[in-house]
Amino acid sequence: MTPSNIPTFSYFRLWFGFIGSAITWVIHFFLIWFISEMGCLSGLGDQTLLGINSVVALILLMTIPLLLITVASGMLSYGIWRQIQDIERQSAPDQGIVYAALERQRFMAIFGSLAAILFGVIIMLQTVPLFTVPVCGA
Amino acid sequence: MSANQETSSTPFTTISQEQFGDVWQIPKGIWGRLVTVQNSVIGLRFIAVAFLFFALAGIMALLMRLQLANPESTLIDPNTYNELFTMHGSTMMYLFVIPLLEGIATLVLPQILGSRELPFPRLTAFAFWTFLFGGIIFYSGFFFEYIVGMDALAQEGWFAYPPLSGIVFSPGRGMDFWLLGLNVAEIAAIAGAFEIILAILLCRAPGMTLNRIPIFAWAMLVTAFMMLFAFTPLVVGSLLLEIDRKIGTHFYNPAGGGDPLLWQHIFWIFGHPDVYIQFIPPAGILSTIIPVFSRRRLVGYPLVVLAIVSTGFLSFGLWVHHMFATGLPEISLSFFSVVSMAIAIPTGIQIFSWIATMWRGKPQLKPPMLFAMGFFLVFVLGGITGIMLAAVPVNQQVHDTYFVVAHLHYVLFGGMIFPVLAGIYYWAPKFMGNGRMLNSRLGSLNFWLVFIGFNVAFFPMHVAGLQGMPRRFYTYQAGSGLGILNLISTIGAFIIAAGFAVFFFNIIYSIFRPQVTEANPWGADTLEWGTPSPAPQYGFRKLPIVRSRHPLWDQDELFEVSGQTKQVVEVLEQRPYRYRAQLTTGVFDGEPKEIFRVAGPSIYPLMLGFAMTAFSFFLIFDLYALAALAVVGSIASLVGWHYRPNTPEEQRTETEDRIEALTGLPVLMAGSRRVSRGGMLLALLTLSVAFVTLIFTYLYIRLNFDDFPPAGMEITDVTLPILGLIVLWVSGLFLYLAAKAVERDSFPRLRGFFGAGVLVAAIALGLQIRFYLSLPFDATTNAYGSAFIMIAVFMLVLQAASLLINVISLFWVLWRGNQYRASNHKSVSEMAIFALWAAGATSLGSFVLFVLPYIL
Ligand code: HEM
Ligand SMILES: [Cu+2]
């Protein structure tokens, strides 16, 4: 490996992988808060949708795509991480990773993979109260 | 560091250390002290003044503890007690912790990052002065209360809930001192945050890639962003409270359709992240110290960075968690509960990493490490009680009892004081008192007194709380069984005080100790220990080149590299030396980008801080004419700040050309383009947060109205504002074209487009002002009117500010146009960005005012 054929990953892939899951969590959090607050205020919480309380249904419905985005961000990072590991393995052992930019991209990928796990779990945890707490109870 | 000097391969003559250090010298005399902007000086001042406020707040705490030492004591009357806990809590939260952390960052960051100076030294100086003046206003309340005899001290606690803090319940000026004094100090915090962010992102040593940034810098980076997102709403919220009091708007006034709960929302959007703002940097200090004293690399660097970043995110999801007792829908409360438990995960990750690091190494219990250990014990207990508080039923039971006081001090004191003291003992030999160690025997004594005293003082409060002793109450009944607990607490408080007496003594005592001669007495791994002790004013003359996360452990030679980077550092070691030169590097990979002149001493930061503080001060006393004068003073200081007199040192010479040719980097004598662009983007971010806070306010108030807009307040004719908006966009377009003309280096175009942009912007502003002046209601009609007018005022002020800056710059362009090439007016592009952003914000605001209420 020479510096010229070290891959650099596209900005979008790196960044979406790096911080995508955290931002998705922010969006999810504000949405579920908004939906529950507004839903209860507007009386939506007294109706049902798909057989369950419609506030709960709405929250679950929007949790699914956002969770998928989180997973995608994690997979992307993980893919980059694996790719960089391969490059490492192919390079001569004494050389190791000497190229700062590659090392930095690996860091971002590791970070992104772990972040996706963390925020994915938190997003899922946040739907638990929907099943345990009376919706719109004061 | 001078070893390599002789072998330098640059064509420049080698200059002596004295010659090089000349421009970096601290100006002498009284005047010199006022104009200094250097990070080494300003950082120490920040720390010193913060500890001064800490001492004052501590004395108030002791007074409270004396009053509570025995039941039904009459030492202090109830009103005074209220003032004491308010001043104590507010001082600790606003005037001690945040400035102290910013001070430490200011002091150590440039060298940790392997650089010479912060990118905007004048901004740091401004932050310091505003902090100092804000604190003085706040404390002048004591003077006005006890000497002048007016009601000038707030009594509403550190979160100042309305309606108690409103004009009806607090008619005196105490709340005004509180709100306006602290607002000034918060502006300081925001200014400091800008500086920290830009320093970490743009001014690192060559080769310091994202993954080699020391943890302390990561922690400060996240903290600084959190400050922008947390302090800005607080500033807006307290301004609204202040105009409620002064002008009679109705934001928090239920009678006018406002809502006191709105304050709680805004306050806790600040307040909860604030707890983590106070915890993340100390945790960063621990992550710095523990590896050094364990002689092991920090375990799980990426995980720790993740923990820091995710704490930053999650902490904003906690804001409702302090309103458990205020009755919101249960389901949304539970979302916040989940976050308050989830945030334990990142904290746990960090604690795990520290323990693992110690486990693998051989911890040496030198004073910094002792304090780190103290942190562990205290913080874990605080965490446990915090989880108890996060559980909703417990919260309702112990809400507003001493249990909360105990928890709060375990978290704030434990999470913050111990690590910060650790940091001070750690960094003292490099940065304090010209490179002198603090005494380690006194250090141990200091530690044990504070540690034991702390637990003696605060542990019994848990019990008192569970027995129902209310917080914020000046006494308790005899025979309630609380007497002994409180007596113990008071004794503990005095032991803490003794501990801090030892600390201050140690600092004074260290002046008589020999200077540290070793560059790296602790055998640490990060760059700040790569400079000689005591560190020279410019930090690194020859910039280090980073090839590892632990450069001092892994790199035999800090300054060895080949290729272009070598050329850059070797040239920079010699030239330019007639002004303070500094390098900016890439955000991700730390590759050299530009060489620029860092601002030197100036009186304007002080003047601006003074004028802004005077403005607040005059408002407290309703002296509006003088306040207007202070605004003029602020503008004048800003102009002076940015005025470049073109002294000989600033004239470009062939040296600059040669440096450019040798390094391949631009030499920017008017300051870094990247830093000013970054500053502009951060300013826009901050203003956006402020604007969103106003829109949130507006929407929140909407919930209180059945008819929104209320009958008789509908807007029927929006021709003028829409026309104004269109014209505003046109002006933005002209400014954009002016910026393009700068790029193409065409002076006639620049003049034409810039002139047109300014003219058109004035027309736009005029159209809108006409409209808003003709409204059938005003800000005092009801809460709708208040929110409406506030949004309008915000948009108009933005445009007016943009216009003012542009008029001044246009004047500049026309006057100096022929002396510079058009391409020297690069800042026009910053103004274009601002103008376009202002147009965007105005569009959003117009949508909220003129469309949203009619479709919702
Ligand atoms: C030096 C040792 C300290 C002692 C003896 C002490 C003591 C006290 C006491 C007695 C109260 C009043 C409780 C009440 O009546 O409700 C209090 C409140 C408070 N303290 Fe401290 N404190 C100390 C340090 C600190 C520190 C370091 C911080 C923050 C970093 C802090 C932050 C607060 C806050 C925020 C309040 C609540 C004020 C309010 O209710 O509005 N204290 N403290
Ligand atoms: Cu909390």
- Choose, out of A122, A124, A128, the residue to mutate when testing the contact with B (most B CBs < 10 Å): A122
- Residue B302's identity, in one-letter code, is P
**B331/A40 Cβ within 8 A:** yes
Convert the pLDDT of each residue in A4-49 to its tens digit.
Answer: 556 677 888 888 989 999 999 999 998 988 888 778 777 777 777 7
Reported as type and span, the H/E element at residue B380 is helix B367-390
Atom 5 of ligand 1, nearest CA residue: B493
pLDDT at B313: 93
The complex's ipTM works out to 0.92
Determine the atom of ligand 1 nearest the C-alpha atom of B500: 1
**Pocket residue to mutate for ligand 1, from B85, B274, B411, most atoms within 8 A of Cβ:** B85
pLDDT > 90 in chain B, percent = 57
| Domain end (from B517, B544, B578) | B517
Q: Which atom of ligand 1 is nearest to the CA of B86?
A: 41
Residue B180 domain-assigned? no
User: Is B451 domain-assigned?
Assistant: yes
DSSP letter string over B495-559?
A: HHHHHHHHHHHHHHHHTTSPBP-SS-TT---SGGGGS-SSPPTTS-SSPP---SSSHHHH-S-TT
**B470: β partners:** B401
Q: Does residue A71 lie within any of the structural domains?
A: yes
Query: How do strand A52-53 and strand A48-49 relate by DSSP bridges?
Result: antiparallel
The answer as to whether B417 is a domain residue is yes
Nearest CA to ligand 1 atom 39: B157
Residue A1 lies in a domain: no
Domain of residue A36 covers 11-128
What pLDDT, on a 0 to 100 scale, did the predictor assign at position B1?
A: 37
**Residue A41 vs residue B773, higher pLDDT:** B773
- Give residue B328's pLDDT band: very low, low, confident or very high (50, 70, 90): low
Q: Evaluate whether residue B281 is within a structural domain.
A: no
Residue B5 has pLDDT above 60, yes or no: no
Residue B41 has pLDDT above 60, yes or no: yes
Q: Please indicate whether, in this complex, the C-beta atoms of A26 and B316 are within 8 angstroms of each other.
A: yes
Which pLDDT score, from 0 to 100, does residue B645 have?
66
B303 to A117, B360, B657, B682: CA distances (angstroms): 12, 17, 45, 27
Predicted confidence (pLDDT) at residue B513 exceeds the cutoff of 60: yes
Which helix or strand (DSSP H or E) is residue A124 part of? helix A100-125
Supply the pLDDT for residue A1: 40
Question: How much is the average pLDDT of B68-91?
Answer: 93
* pLDDT over 50 at B46, yes or no: yes
pLDDT over threshold 90, residue B685: yes
For residue B244, tell me if it sits in a domain.
no
For residues B175 and B89, the answer to whether their CB atoms sit within 8 Å is no
DSSP string for B764-817: HHHHHHHHHHT-S--TTT-HHHHHHHHHHHHHHHHHHHHHHHHHHHHHHHHHHT
Buried/exposed code over B117-136 (b: 16+ C-beta within 10 A; e: otherwise): bbbbbbbbbbbbbbbbbbbb
**DSSP code, position B383:** H
Predicted confidence at residue A96, as pLDDT, reads 45
Cis check for the bond before B368: say yes or no (omega within 30 of 0).
no
Look up residue B402 and give its two tokens: 């001493």
Q: What per-residue confidence (pLDDT) applies to B441?
A: 93
* Distance, CA of B567 to CA of B664 (rounded, Å): 9
Instruction: Assess if residue A136 is contained within a domain.
Output: no
* Residues in A touching B334 (Cβ below 8 Å): 129, 132-133
Contact B182, B159 (CB under 8 A): no
The pLDDT, as a whole number, for residue B721 is 93
Rounded to whole angstroms, the Cα distance separating B335 from B319 reads 11
Among chain B residues, CA nearest to A103: B211
Q: Among residues B517, B538, B555, which one ends one of the domains?
A: B517
CA dist., res. B819 & res. B521, Å (int): 53
Whether residue A138 and residue B330 make contact (CB cut-off 8 A), yes or no, is yes
The pLDDT of residue B583 is above 50? yes
Q: CA-based angle B225:B230:B233, to the nearest 5?
A: 130
Chain B residues whose CB is inside 8 A of the A111 CB are 302, 305-306, 309
Three-state DSSP state, B319:
helix
- Of B54, B56, B67, B92, the residue with max ligand 1 atoms within 8 A of its CB, to mutate for a pocket test, comes to B92
End-to-end C-alpha distance for chain A, whole angstroms: 64
Nearest protein Cα to ligand 1, atom 14: B472
Instruction: Provide the phi-psi class of B382: left if phi over 0, else alpha when psi is between -120 and 50, else beta.
Output: alpha
Could you report the per-residue pLDDT of B223-275, keeping only the tens digit for each? 999 999 999 999 999 999 999 999 999 999 988 889 998 998 899 889 889 98
Which residue has the CA at smallest separation from atom 36 of ligand 1?
A: B89
Residue B7 has pLDDT above 50, yes or no: no
The pLDDT, as a whole number, for residue B823 is 66
Q: How far apart are CA B734 and CA B731, in angstroms?
A: 5
Residue B646 has pLDDT above 90, yes or no: no
Average pLDDT, stretch B404-423?
A: 90
> Is residue A137 a part of any domain in this protein?
no
Among B115-119, B299-303, B536-540, the least confident range: B536-540
Residue-level pLDDT at B116: 93
Distance to chain A for B634, nearest Cα, Å: 38
For residue A119, is it within any domain? yes
What is the average pLDDT score of chain B?
Answer: 89
Chains A and B form CB pairs within 8 A to the count of 99
Q: Does residue B510 form part of some domain?
A: yes
* Residue B6: band (very low, low, confident or very high) from pLDDT cuts 50, 70, 90: very low
Nearest CA-CA distance, residue B332 and chain A, Å: 6
Residue of A33, A77, A102, A123 best to disrupt the B interface, most CBs of B under 10 A: A33
How far is Cα B216 from Cα B198, in angstroms, rounded to an integer?
15
Q: What would the mean pLDDT of B10-27 be, rounded to a whole number? A: 86
User: What is the number of domains present in chain B?
Assistant: 2
Residue B439 covered by a domain: yes
Over the range A68-81, which residues count as b (16 or more CB within 10 Å of their CB) and which as e? ebbebbbebbbebb
> How many distinct structural domains can be found in chain A?
1
Q: Considering the domain boundaries, does residue A60 fall inside one?
A: yes
Q: The domain containing residue B751 runs over which residues?
A: 712-855
Task: Give the lowest-confidence range in B18-32, B129-143, B206-220.
Answer: B18-32
Which of B305-319, B357-371, B402-416, B644-658 has the weakest average pLDDT? B644-658
How confident is the model over B592-615, as pLDDT tens digits? 999 999 988 999 999 999 999 999
Among candidate residues B497, B517, B537, the one where a domain is terminated: B517
Chain A: closest CA distance from residue B829 (Å): 25
Is B274:B311 a contact under the CB 8 Å cutoff? no
Of A100, A110, A118, the CB nearest to B345: A118
Is the pLDDT confidence value at B326 over 70? Answer: no
A contacts of B306 (beta carbons < 8 Å): 111, 114-115, 118
Would you say residue B765 has pLDDT above 60? yes
Nearest chain B residue (CA) to A14: B588
Banded model confidence at residue A69, pLDDT cuts 50, 70, 90: very high
Name the residue with higher pLDDT: A47 or B668: B668
Q: Is B413 in the pocket of ligand 1 (CB under 6 A)?
A: yes
pLDDT digits (tens, 9 = 90+) for B443-475: 999 999 999 999 999 999 988 988 889 999 999
